[in-house]
Chains A and B, each alone.
Chain A
């Protein structure tokens, strides 16, 4: 199926040699790349198991004698820090849920109906992706205060949805477009409504697309920093990214705790990535690869 060549794949004329020079160079290159990509992350994880005094030990060591889960237990027993995680999970799950519901309905409409204003509406949805968050932040600040939503979950869920929703609509429209219209028509001939066709037939078939969109939406929400920084105020409303920033601002750097918190902070997205690689990558490529 996948039969393309690349720069480094020489086509051996005879039987493929087990250890050709090309292969050795290739593996060296791949290992070098893996160090570049992976070492910082390895270092982060290793540092989270060190004591704070050993973080900058000379010479540096990956694993030290004081290897312990101490930093994790400090983070996980601190109610203030646990709250950051609860907030992040809550906001991200709500954003994902609402985005999928609203986005699926909109995607269905774009895929199945021809209507006035379809083109300009579509342009606006694509255009929103290119609007700088910082541009929206200033009006949001006064808008959210006027709506009395400052320092609430609703402020974060609503503002995050502007970006996640436009993404989800583009994804879901594309996905529905690949499904034949005869599918929903069959349901309607049997006496079902359009909504029933959507619920009973299209949504189950589109589950891979929905999962992919959901994962990417969750990731966007989980990673958001600028709005969370500005639209919340009290420490009990802060999310993980803002929480990490607050740890940095303090005078004594508890590097091991910060690293433990970072490891915990990337865990949900990492788990989603490892278990749903195919969907995760589909979400990444959606914007750039056609078809």
Chain B
């Protein structure tokens, strides 16, 4: 806006006009550039610097310690455990999100039912996505409580003989939080895959049927390959976001019992805001960033490839 007026005022000066014209797109982008510089580029540099110093924020004059924080972290049993937990949580979530999302998308895409019936089911199926992680956590704590409704059903049906402490058992807690996260996240896949399914031309299936393919073959050789680009995008985005999941863990188990559900995110938070080890927390935060960026790089390359 400012630049536009500027152009009119300086119509006599051609070079100035040229420069001003070049700056126009940046005028529109100025607020974005300021915000992203101050609140994402600068903080990333800051967190990396913190990770190379001895206890920052708490110390008045922190000194440079090189990679000592990283070495200490990587050799720490708790950190190693958190990496394994995060990987288990993330990979299981991604796999089951995909399976559930694809199954539900195909159920909803069927021609056997009227579109009203399908729309009604679709509304219900998307519901978990509408809920905040905090609310999902509270809700499942109620359901999975030893005296809760799920234990009642399991006891009644004879599947278990005594009450299960889903969220406070050392053996079960990690599976339980993963289960909750699977419930909370599949609609994201379902909606995208439904759109993808509706984009596959019917001629492909007709041609396949004429060639004598059965339904399983149609699925493996037409549906899946057609959905492949969407599935890859979804899986990579989900991998990144699930790796960052903090709220759900924090609100259900807080990383316990005995750190069996400790994730990189919860561990980093505790290092910073419970034990005030800001340097180690920064090193841990930077490791999560690096892992995310590796996946993001694949994602961008994949998006580029499908653009061309």
Contacts and interface: CB of A to CB of B under 8 A. Distances in A.
B70 interface: no
Interface in A229-278: 230, 240-242, 244-245, 248, 255, 258-259, 262, 265-266, 269-270, 273-274, 277
A194 interface: yes
Interface of A, secondary structure class, is helix
A132 B292 contact: yes
Among B149, B199, B264: residue with most chain A CB under 10 A:
B149
Interface in B200-220: 200-202, 205, 209, 215-216, 218-219
B134 A109 contact: no
Contacts of B135: 44, 241, 244, 262, 265-266
A256 to B, nearest CB: 10
Nearest to B238: A288
B168 interface: no
Given A55-B142, A109-B28, A162-B35, A265 B292 contact: no
B251 interface: yes
B43 A7 contact: no
Contacts of A26: 107, 110, 112-113
B215 A106 contact: no
A130 interface: yes
A270 to B, nearest CB: 5
Contacts of A130: 240, 292-293, 295-296, 299
Interface in A14-53: 16, 20, 22-23, 26-27, 29-30, 33-34, 36-38, 40-41, 43-44, 47
Nearest to B229: A290
B73 interface: no
A123 B229 CA distance: 20
Given A134-B265, A169-B32, A123 B24 contact: no
B170 to A, nearest CB: 22
A235 B4 CA distance: 47
Interface in B93-135: 103-104, 106-113, 121, 123-135
A52 to B, nearest CB: 12
A178 to B, nearest CB: 15
A59 interface: yes
A126 B300 contact: yes
Interface in A130-169: 130-143, 158-159, 161-162, 165-166, 169
Given A4-B109, A132-B244, A287-B237, A273 B130 contact: yes
Interface string A100-140: 00110110110011011010010111111111111111111
B256 interface: no
Contacts of A132: 243-244, 265, 285, 288-289, 292
B4 A193 contact: yes
B88 interface: no
A6 B127 contact: no
A165 B32 contact: yes
A102 B29 CA distance: 8
A265 to B, nearest CB: 6
B274 to A, nearest CB: 12
Contacts of B35: 102, 158, 161-162, 165
Nearest to A259: B142
B225 interface: no
Interface stretch (A70-78, A179-187, A200-208, A220-228): A220-228
A223 B136 CA distance: 11
A97 interface: no
A2 B124 CA distance: 21
Nearest to A169: B32
Contact of A22 (B112, B125, B149, B250): B112
B110 A284 contact: no
27 contacts: A4-B202, A7-B223, A9-B110, A26-B107, A34-B125, A37-B125, A37-B128, A44-B139, A59-B152, A103-B32, A105-B29, A106-B29, A127-B300, A129-B296, A130-B295, A130-B296, A133-B244, A135-B288, A138-B268, A138-B282, A162-B35, A248-B138, A258-B138, A259-B142, A281-B126, A284-B187, A284-B192
Given A37-B187, A133-B246, A269-B131, 11 more contacts: A7-B216, A8-B106, A20-B112, A128-B36, A135-B43, A135-B286, A138-B278, A140-B43, A141-B272, A159-B39, A242-B134
Interface of B: 1, 4, 22, 24-26, 28-29, 31-33, 35-36, 38-44, 46-47, 50, 57, 103-104, 106-113, 121, 123-135, 138-143, 145, 147-149, 152, 156, 183, 187-188, 191-192, 195-202, 205, 209, 215-216, 218-219, 223, 229-230, 233-234, 237, 240, 243-244, 246-247, 250-251, 264-265, 268-269, 272-273, 278, 281-282, 285-286, 288-289, 292-293, 295-296, 299-300, 303, 306-307
Interface of A: 2-11, 16, 20, 22-23, 26-27, 29-30, 33-34, 36-38, 40-41, 43-44, 47, 55-56, 58-60, 102-103, 105-106, 108-109, 112-113, 115-116, 118, 121, 123-143, 158-159, 161-162, 165-166, 169, 193-195, 222-223, 225-226, 230, 240-242, 244-245, 248, 255, 258-259, 262, 265-266, 269-270, 273-274, 277, 281, 284-285, 287-290
The 5 A-B pairs at the shortest CB distance, nearest first, are namely: A139-B43, A130-B296, A109-B28, A3-B202, A113-B25
